[in-house]
Amino acid sequence: MDNNKSTRLANKLFPVKEEYEIDILDIPAEKRKLNTETYDFTVSTIVEYISEKHIDIPMFQRGYVWNRAQASRLIESLIIQCPIPVVYLSQNPDETLSVIDGNQRLTSISLFLNDEFPLTGLATYPELDGFKFSELDPRFQRHIRNRTIRCIVILKDTHPQIKFDVFERLNTGSVKLNPQELRHGIYNGPLIEIIEELSNISQFKKATSTTNDKRMKGEEMILRFFALYDNWQDYQKPMTTYLNNYAENNRFFDQNSLERLEEIFKVNFNKCLELYGEYTFKTFDENKKRLKSNTALFDAQMISMSNINPPMEQLEKLNKEMVLEKLTELLGNEDFYDSLTKGTTDRNTVHKRIIEYTDFLGKILN
């Protein structure tokens, strides 16, 4: 049997990714709609799908946070046939499903059916407190397995920007997920994984003031660098959709491309550390005080370094006091400082600070 025929057909029917322009105004009107299907999955099917990775539960910023009493009440709701809120899933290009809304519910059900915790704090059936799933009477087990949960699946042919908009609308937790936290689940894949790994470099955390980063600020900064490095000349606001575009289009980068990106980031980051030391990515006053990490300055320093690409040996020989004095002068320039603090994601502002900083760096090196 020619397995290649199957693979070629699958590649046509289930392509790994599609190229999209994210600007909502560029999306044809007929594509600005949500394409969905509704399924009533049994609990048994859901647990099986999770086990087989057909349903993926991305670890957003908060991951699994329900306590055992909350999870137990959900199981009790299944037993007494109390309606369970709708779960929203996103269909991926490979036909797998990612959870958009319902992470806590599905994780709780999966954990309980895998004997990970006993029931506790039940209100209607306190007699079942202390029982794990395998310890319940088989009739209870069958009853729970056979309960259905309504799932709305956002189909893969829905435009990714429309998907992102829907995810934001469904983002109703007590602490709202920010755009990078959403991307971490929506565009989960090799690119997001390498970004997460790079964001945990201790020197990077120190330079960007993200040592206690609980909202993925560091990850978004690295994604910004990759996106701007790719083609900052074509940057268009808003920054959120610009980064969504890059994350979507490059979600499944191959290993060689990922290794190249990792090397590019590390090389330019280490060069910035060599040149600016403790002032890397920091704004400060004329007395070298009040150091504050600045994302716009991060863009300017990293992209200008990659634009000029000086050898490390040249940077090592530079007079760092001279560099710091010149940088102090630049930050004291009101026009340039405004590009770091006002309208920082406007197209003209992004271009301005990268061009001016590249010119600044070039003069230091000559």
Q: Is the pLDDT of residue 42 over 90?
A: yes
Q: Tell me, what's the pLDDT at 187?
A: 83
Over residues 46-63, mean pLDDT: 79
214 contacts: CB under 8 Å, gap ≥ 6: 61
List residues bridging with 150 in a β-sheet.
40
Q: Tell me, what's the pLDDT at 19?
A: 36
pLDDT tens digits for range 93-129: 888 998 888 888 999 999 999 999 999 999 999 999 9
In this structure, are residues 364 and 326 in contact, taking their beta carbons and an 8 Å threshold?
yes
pLDDT cut 90: percent of the chain above it: 65
CA 96 – CA 328 distance, rounded (Å) = 52
Lowest mean pLDDT among 209-223, 302-316, 346-360: 209-223
Question: 32 or 183: which carries more pLDDT confidence?
Answer: 183
List residues bridging with 97 in a β-sheet.
55, 91
DSSP state of 273: H
**Residue 190, both tokens:** 């090799």
Q: Tell me, what's the pLDDT at 13?
A: 63
pLDDT tens digits for range 244-288: 999 989 998 999 999 999 999 999 999 999 999 999 999 988 777
Over residues 33-59, mean pLDDT: 90
Q: Where in the chain are the domains?
A: 35-157, 179-365
Q: Is the pLDDT of residue 74 over 70?
A: yes
Q: Tell me, what's the pLDDT at 14?
A: 61
E strand spans, the chain: 36-42, 55-56, 87-91, 97-101, 148-154, 282-283, 292-293
pLDDT tens digits for range 125-158: 999 999 999 999 999 999 999 999 999 999 988 8
Q: Is the pLDDT of residue 62 over 60?
A: no
pLDDT cut 70: percent of the chain above it: 88
Maximum CA pair distance of the chain?
80
In this structure, are residues 240 and 344 in contact, taking their beta carbons and an 8 Å threshold?
no
231 contacts: CB under 8 Å, gap ≥ 6: none
